[in-house]
Amino acid sequence: MEETLAKIDSLLDQLAPITLEEMKVIKLMNRIDKKYMIHIDQLPVLLEMAKNDYYVQETGAKRRFLYRSCYYDTHDDKMYNMHCDGKLTRQKIRVREYVYSNLTFLEIKSKNNKGRTSKVRMEVPDTDILHQDEAKNYVCTKSHYLDSEIRPRLKNQFFRVTLVNKGKTERLTIDVNIEFENCLDGTRNGNPKLCIIELKRDGNVPSPFLRYFAKLRIKPKGISKYCYGMMLTDSKLKRNRFKPKLRFIEKLTGAYGLCALTAEPDIQ
């Protein structure tokens, strides 16, 4: 894995940088998302194709950033089950740590029945939002749930690369080396061969990456990292709706996930 990440870093160094300040014009907080899943060995090919068409986010001389998240759900896993049941209108509540920036945000993502995603967030001191009065009030006013209804359910961590096209009309996130931990019993799992790419556009603007995908015959197919992690760390959950995607991941990477990760836990 380290060798693959080093190759990815080398290719990222060939892209022109863009700062967070420069990216403010393309926040896309109300957007249409399209996801793709590829084997991580395909990523260097895509980055080579992208080097003349995209900027890469750079902060503090880094171009690949460690993210950690803690997802909250109800005691009967309502948010997971709504996704599993195919409900179009749904929410996720998570606390995300931008590790290298030393920033933590409570984020509430909402999806409507037209496929549009919106996100609101507030900065918080840590992931334990149920002991923060301001955060609890934010959950009650901005989400469909009361703070008393939710609990920490799943942690994950991954490395993210963010690309911006030269026209600054789209943003692309690339997540690699994804690991999960069940908050209830500590079960850990992950799939280091899986790469999840999300194309974020405010409408159907032209996208160079769509041309790359077409050339490589890569079709849209995504999975919620929250739902994937829940299934990898809790065998009791229903998953019928996700079985085709799980079979796709198994064919793509050779496994749904890699059970019993041997490294010491690094998800905090």
State the DSSP string of 87-108.
-SSEEEEEEEEEGGGTEEEEEE
Q: What's the confidence (pLDDT) of residue 257?
A: 58
Superfamily of domain 2-253: Hypothetical Protein Pfu-838710-001 (2.40.320.10)
- The whole-number average pLDDT for the span 191-200 is 94
Burial class (CB in 10 A: 0-12, 13-18, 19+), 139: buried
- The whole-number average pLDDT for the span 100-113 is 94
pTM over 0.95? The answer is no
Q: In which band, very low, low, confident or very high, does the pLDDT at 31 lie, cut at 50, 70 and 90?
A: low
- The whole-number average pLDDT for the span 172-182 is 96
Q: What's the confidence (pLDDT) of residue 157?
A: 96
Per mean pLDDT, which range of 3-7, 228-232, 262-266 is the poorest? 262-266
Burial class (CB in 10 A: 0-12, 13-18, 19+), 131: exposed
